[in-house]
Chains A and B, each alone.
Chain A
Amino acid sequence: MHISEGVLATEVWVGGYVVAGLVTAAIIKKLDSEDLPKISVITSVFFVASLIHIPLGPTSIHLIVNGLVGMVLGPAAFLSIFVGLTLQALLFQHGGITPLGANAVMMGIPALCAYGVFNLRKKIPLKHAEFIFGAMAGLTGTVLSGVFLATLLALSGEAFYGVAKAALWAHVPIMIIEGLLTGFTAAFLHKVKPEILEKEKQYAS
């Protein structure tokens, strides 16, 4: 999910850069050089995973993966998404240079929320907790991003109200598929390599 070049009002994309810059600075402070290669390697996996297509009737959708990034990386997810979006903009012109900050906020803040949602599983013991909270994390990521997308478009002018509404509705099937898929991924990771889902062990710092 991204907003393309030329759409956002100046105040909106500048504001996006300010928010994204502040969040990034706060997160970088907490990381050390040991985390860098790890976050980067995982960022490239997400980059590649966002190219996966799932058929939907006659068309197909591609994964957004921001809920999944939040679930796996925790706070560093914002940085990972920022870097991933920049590379998408520079390497194949998805999104763009001026809306980059706004796009990072639109995808990154929901990823942080998804992380919070996924962590609830420790407080609420359920059967199949990984699947349930993973699916909720995936939903949180995509639904909030959709809301951000619509809000940013609407903030850019009255003319975009209709587009904002259409964009939100168009994302509903993606939200459902992405939620389920994230749940399955969480369940798989819990079975195969549970330490990936335990953040405390990875970032001792």
Chain B
Amino acid sequence: MHLDIDKYAHIHSPVHRWDPRIKIASLGLFIVTIAILNKLPLIVIAFSISSLLVIVSRLPFSFVTRRLLPVTIFLSPFFIIIPLTMPGDTATTLGVSFNYGGLLIAAKVYLKALSMVMLSIVMIGTAPFVDSLKAMERLGVPSFIVQMFLFTYRYIFIFLLEMKRMNRAMKSRNFIKKTDIHTVRTMGNFVGMLLVRSFEKADRVYESMLSRGYDGGLKTSFNYTIARPDYFKAAALSVACVTLLIY
């Protein structure tokens, strides 16, 4: 679990210099385009463009590949299950029917998913996360939801520390997780305790916000201006999207 998506938000690259509003909108459009693609050659082209964007963004290779792990774990069973279970043109070897067309489907799905995840890493990883959220608000995401993102994001770190502390306390009492009812009960109480603490914290947070003049709105600075290169980059990517969709 790596929460440091904006660890490399402060390096310099053409993607980093892109206005977050236009960047999120353009890359979002590209992600949607890939989701619609179905032909292998087009998917390979989309994958190449996505990889190119990762290179241009100068995000470290290991940073990106580590983040491609969840999608790889989720999709690897597809390579076995789909060929074994898909009806149609199957080849039988040693009594097991295997559909090679299913292998192609799994490959297409995986390649599409890799491209889309790489794009989302470029989209979110090249600006401070809070700036990306503010850009989303400017793009029309309701303020209520953006504020929820901001608060939740903030408190995730606090509760991660809280959880670490509680874990250490349990370990010091010789608690070892096993596959038994005692473990489930203890972890159930653990989650309950986290909730109790969070409710108490939530009330205090709200009171302190009120005392600083919170009225339900978001008042933050957003220091970005859209310049001509921003539009050029967006135009180039849009042309790519339209071309891919036409073919």
Residues of A within 8 A of B (CB): 2, 4-7, 10, 13, 24, 28, 31-34, 36-45, 47-49, 51-57, 63, 65, 68, 72, 79, 82-84, 86-87, 89-94, 96-98, 157-163, 165-166, 177, 180-185, 187-189, 192-193, 196
Contact = CB atoms under 8 A, between A and B. Distances in A.
Given A6-B110, A41-B155, A93 B70 contact: yes
B193 to A, nearest CB: 7
Contacts of A32: 216
Contacts of A52: 163, 187, 190-191
Given A45-B198, A52-B190, A193-B199, A163 B209 contact: no
Nearest to A48: B159
B198 A96 contact: no
Interface stretch (B15-23, B54-62, B82-90, B235-243): B82-90
Contacts of A83: 145, 148-149, 152
Contact of B120 (A90, A158, A166, A180): A90
B135 interface: no
A65 B74 CA distance: 19
A135 to B, nearest CB: 10
Contact of B147 (A13, A36, A163, A193): A36
B156 interface: yes
B194 interface: yes
A13 B36 CA distance: 10
Given A4-B113, A93-B71, A180-B181, A36 B192 contact: no
